[in-house]
A and B are shown apart, each in its own frame.
Chain A
Amino acid sequence: MGGFLPPAERRSSALVGLYAALSLLLLVAGERLPQAPLRGIGAFVFAPLDRLVLAADRASTAWRENQRLHERLAELEMENARLRDEGVENQRLREELTLPPRHGVELKPVEVLALAGEPVPSAATLGAGRSQGVREGDVVVTREGLVGRIGESYPTLARVILLTDVNSAVACEVESVGVQGILHYVTSPYPRLTLTGVPLGDTVRVGQLVLTSGLSIRFPRSLPVGRVARLGVDPSGLSQDIEIAPAARLSRLRHAFVIPGPDSLRGRP
């Protein structure tokens, strides 16, 4: 066939054949290549540009947020005062019941530079990395709830594996009723977060809050994850199919907080 084509067209046909072969080779063997360093370089190159693009969007929303945050601050100051009173009371009661004291979590504010994945983002790039003390395995949250965990950490940037990554799994419990399950992201029949492994006999209602469970070794207990959005039966007929609406707005992440992961898992994705 090459003989029928002019030389320039033959060259371009050969070129596209080479690209097709290379792409197919990457599809077959790409998972074995070390992609993390390449993604690190990409994130490093794109970080200043991402910041530039996001600056315009952020400037326009900053003043609205500022107004809302002032109101929220006033509300929270009042709530904080009430909670301090209740905290003292709670501590006294725990001492009387000889229960161990609860520890707070350390929050490190970080900027979200970019999101990756369609139609729902599955990863995010943070503007802080190892130099700022962000390590693989650390937990990422917003004020609304859990976002994911650090999968890759570079000197000044980090990549977050969001709850909406197909390989993500979080041990959760339904607030107040204590029903336990594992949160997964599934794409079939449509993309959604589901709580799996909940027996049919357990009572769960739409609207109930889902939190990280004490069984999780990666995530601190009681971080809000989402709310029960829909109830159904798993195709196996053995457990419930519970759809969860995420608490954090994963598609509109601008700022987040990093919580250091457990010491035994820090530095491991």
Chain B
Amino acid sequence: MKALLAPLSLIVVALLLRSTALSALATRGVLLDVLAFATLVWAMARGEAGGANFGFALGLLADLDAAHWLGRHALVLALLGYAIGRLSHTLVRDSVRTQLVLLFLATLIHETWALSFELGSVGSWPWQALRVLLAAVATAPVGALALAIARWGSGQPLFGHAESQPGPSL
């Protein structure tokens, strides 16, 4: 039960932010992808299984909040959670550059997939592509800043360093 409390809290906070403050920002053109951010944070902390579980649960709840296409966010967030979880074994997870790059890529993938369901004529593609790019450009620094503030607040690394496997003894 206690183990469920942390991911459930993060899911609730992410969905609340998405439906309130970030929804108002999105209409002004500032799209912050809190779903990708939350999945990335959880996957970096808990690895691929945790990331996939979290991404799927968060995505499914986000899908239920929308009116159409159940499974749209669940699929891409589960895959992103898994992929980031796998990568986190080999990366310096507390590096700001790593976080920036991962957030940029995660947002880019998530938004591209989510938007592909709303694609209209070819004429609308440049506008949609610009929207995806802006979302990735906005989410990466804001997310990295949020993680930096959390790290500064906690006074210790959030994720620790990549696991070091001992080499074969000669």
Is the beta-carbon distance between B23 and A115 smaller than 8 angstroms?
Answer: yes
A111 at the interface (CB under 8 A from B): no
Give every chain B residue within 8 A of A252 (Cβ-Cβ).
24, 27
Is the beta-carbon distance between A46 and B16 smaller than 8 angstroms?
Answer: yes
Give every chain A residue within 8 A of B118 (Cβ-Cβ).
187
Is the beta-carbon distance between A30 and B85 smaller than 8 angstroms?
Answer: no
Is the beta-carbon distance between B26 and A119 smaller than 8 angstroms?
Answer: yes
B64 at the interface (CB under 8 A from A): yes
| Interface flags, A117-128, vs B, CB<8A=1, else 0 | 111111100000
A216 at the interface (CB under 8 A from B): no
| Interface flags, A127-167, vs B, CB<8A=1, else 0 | 00000000000000000000000000000000001000100
**Known contacts A19-B52, A20-B79, A251-B23: does B31 contact A118 (CB below 8 Å)?**
yes
Give every chain A residue within 8 A of B123 (Cβ-Cβ).
188-189
Q: Return the contact of A49 from the options B12, B21, B70, B81 (Cβ within 8 A).
A: B12
A57 at the interface (CB under 8 A from B): yes
Chain A, interface residues (CB within 8 Å), range:
35 or more
A53 vs B70: C-alpha distance when bound (angstroms):
26
CB distance from A108 to the nearest CB of B (A): 23
- Apart from A27-B69, A119-B131, list 13 A-B contacts with CB within 8 A: A16-B48, A16-B81, A23-B71, A23-B78, A25-B71, A33-B70, A50-B16, A57-B20, A121-B27, A186-B120, A188-B119, A188-B123, A189-B127
Q: List the interface of chain B (C-beta within 8 A of A).
A: 12, 15-17, 19-21, 23-24, 26-29, 31, 47-49, 52-53, 55-56, 59-61, 63-72, 74-75, 78-79, 81-82, 85, 118-121, 123-124, 127, 131
Q: List 29 A-B contacts (CB under 8 A).
A: A12-B47, A16-B78, A20-B75, A20-B79, A22-B56, A23-B74, A24-B75, A26-B60, A26-B71, A27-B72, A30-B69, A33-B70, A38-B64, A42-B61, A53-B20, A57-B21, A116-B23, A116-B66, A119-B26, A119-B27, A121-B27, A122-B66, A122-B67, A123-B66, A187-B118, A187-B124, A189-B120, A189-B124, A250-B27
